[in-house]
Each structure stands twice: as C-alpha cells, then as structure tokens.
Amino acid sequence: MKKFDIPLHYRSPIISKVKAKRKLEDPRKKDFSPTHLNFGNVTFIISRHFGFCYGVENAIEKSYKAIQENPDKRIYLLSQMIHNPDVNNDLLSQGVQFIQDTDGKQLIPWSEIQSEDILIIPAFGTTVETQELLESKGIDTVKYNTTCPFVEKVWNRSSKLGDLDHTIIIHGKHKHEETKATFSHSKENAPSLVVKDIKETQYLADYILGRISTEEFLTFFDGKLSKEFDPLKDLKRIGVVNQTTMLASETQEITDFLRETMIEKYGEENIKEHISDTRDTLCYATNDNQSATLELLNTSADLAVVVGGYNSSNTSHLVELLEPKFPTFFIKNKHEITSINNIQSFDIHTKELNQSDSFLPEKEHTNIIITSGASCPDAVVDDVIQKILELKQAPITIDQIKL
C-alpha cells in the first residue's frame, strides 16, 4: 500500500513503534489481538487497528501539498477535511478557510470564491450539485480532490446497481457529509433512499410487505428520498450500500433483514431478481478497526479510552462497541483529562460533554484499553498515553518499554 507524506507532528514515538512491529509480525493483518504495553503500574491494551486510514492519509498529504504549493493564493476547504479537531485546527492556523461547516451551513458565500482560488475537496467527497457549481466558476476540482477511493467505490457500485434498475438503499446518517455525497451521486441514475439503522429498515420492510400506507412511508422518510421517488414501483429491486464509517455488522444486519423481506414478498426462488449482494461496499479500514475493537471485548480491563473527534461517525461506533462491557471515555485529546480522577468525555447518546470524577480507579495496577478513530493522529493518542503515565507516575518510561 502506498506510503504517504504526512507531517512529522502527526507521528508518534510510542504508537509508531507498536504499528511498525505489528506490521512486521502480521503483514496480512490476520491477527486482531491487541498489544499490551506494561509500564509497571499501568498496562495499555492497544487495539490492533486504529488511527489514520488510507483515505485520511491521502487527504492530509494533498491538503498540506496545497498549502506548500500555493503560498500566495487563498486556499479553501469545502468543509472539515476529516472529523478531527486537531487536524482541522492545524489547517485553519495555516490559513486554510472552510466554506461550510459539517451541517452544510455556509460560512463563506460562494460569490467570494474565485477561479484562481485553490479548492480542496475533503475525504468525504462532495455532492454532484456542489461539483457542478465549482466547475461553473472555473475552479479546478481535480488537483486537490481528496475524496477517499473507498467512498468512490460506493459511488461506482451504486451506479452499477442503477444500471441494473435497482433502487439504492444507503445505510448512513442522512446529514453526514459522506452520506450526502453518496446520495447525490446515487440519485443521478437510480431512485435512492437513506436508512439510519435497523429500526428505519423495519419500517421500510413494513411498507414492502404492505403493512403501512404509501402516505405513511413518504412522511416517515421525508428528506431521505430522491426526487420523485415512487415506492410503489421503486422497491421491487434493491441493493444496499453503506456510508463507509457505519457499523459493518449493522449494514450486514440491514441487508440480511431486507433479503428476508424480499423472500417473504417474492419467494426464495426469485430472490436474485429483487436484491443484490453489496457486501463489497464495506470499507476495509472500518472493518479492520471494528474487528479489532470486537477483539478487545475478549480482554480484561478496568476502563477504555477512545480518542477522536466528537462528530466522527466511525469513532462513535467504536465507543458503541466498547461501552456495554467497560467504563468507556470518549475524548478528543489529552486536554480532556484534568487529573487522575477527573475527565471530560463525550456521551454519544445525549451528544453532551460529561464531567466524571472517577476516571482512573484507585488500585495498584490499572489496565486501560485504548483506541482511536480513523481520523485521529497517532500523536494525539500518544499524548493521551503520556498524560496518563504522568498522572500514574509510572515507574517504567517510554524509552524503557519493551515491545
């Protein structure tokens, strides 16, 4: 796999060594067991896979190249390049401006963007409508387009399904930038619908099986359907694709559920005519990170720390997997830890920051699971580890640790 030119301040003394050793021992990534680092009175149980993925490293490399290659030009990002505050703040500090926020709110009017300006398309990609707007202004949308190739793979799969007269069911959060982009591309040549989870899928199935009316269906999925979507004819042949950062297991559950629905509706012998196998749209990095997190559930630990941006979909799903078994703290960086007892962490259910005064347990030896989202720099994870080591006054230093 290609090696990207990433700024040195995103690298780390601890995590880089761990990853280098694991790469030598397990080049084909078949072993999902974690790495244990024992610092005397605290052991970090580090997930096999986490941190920057291919798409994120590609986006970072191109973004910093844009800065280096255009010192005298205005540089814009359509929105946050990735969902990590440290990376985005670093880009802002170097003069990059965001045209929109993650909710699509306009921060800089389109009228201010000129053909000579440099435009970076983020890793999530962008909508067909925005692409056409930029091209109409004479802006180069190719040179610094950082759209993840695995996101583009979903777009291509959607296009092929459309050519086969399938309706596209997108498993994703309909307000997420990646889902908006995928929906925009898929609806170009196929009816498209977004479902967030298995509950919304069950509602879709109820309509297919005639249990609810067309009016109820259209009301329920308002804002999540392509224009002129006709449920009476558009739900006879379907294919499921996913926002690449969703839970792979949930995407599979949705696909399996809809397959059983189509069997009930049309019969087992006709199933190939009514639903397509689309497992190939699952992102490798999302799969690896989630599989490695599931492996963490087989370990014994006092708590888990997940590091990443609070608006990061893939990171929140790691929290979702860990929190049923471990006290789990979702933090953006080391500054959320203020003392050995106090930590500020994000609640993925209430979408609020909570203060806790029972962070590290009072015991001789503490076992801590640690992982991060695909958009989190290793250096940020490193900082969290070092902050905890300082608080615990660990007798073994980083230089003394044996991998």
- DSSP single-letter state for residue 348: T
Indicate the residue type of 155: W
Give the separation between CA 60 and CA 148, rounded to whole angstroms: 11
Catalytic residue among 57, 177, 178, 250: 178
CA dihedral 22, 28, 30, 35 (to 10 degrees): 10
Give the separation between CA 390 and CA 340, rounded to whole angstroms: 9
Give the separation between CA 304 and CA 319, rounded to whole angstroms: 9
Reference 258, options 168, 320, 174; nearest CA is: 168
Q: Where are the beta strands (DSSP E) in 11-80?
A: 35-38, 42-46, 75-77
Q: Which residues fall within 8 angstroms of residue 76, CB to CB, at 6 or more apart? A: 96, 97, 98, 99, 108, 113, 117, 118, 119, 120
C-beta atoms surrounding 4 within 10 Å? 14
178 catalytic per annotation = yes
CB 48 within 8 A of CB 22: yes
Q: Which residues fall within 8 angstroms of residue 88, CB to CB, at 6 or more apart? A: 80, 81, 82, 98
Active site residues per annotation = 178
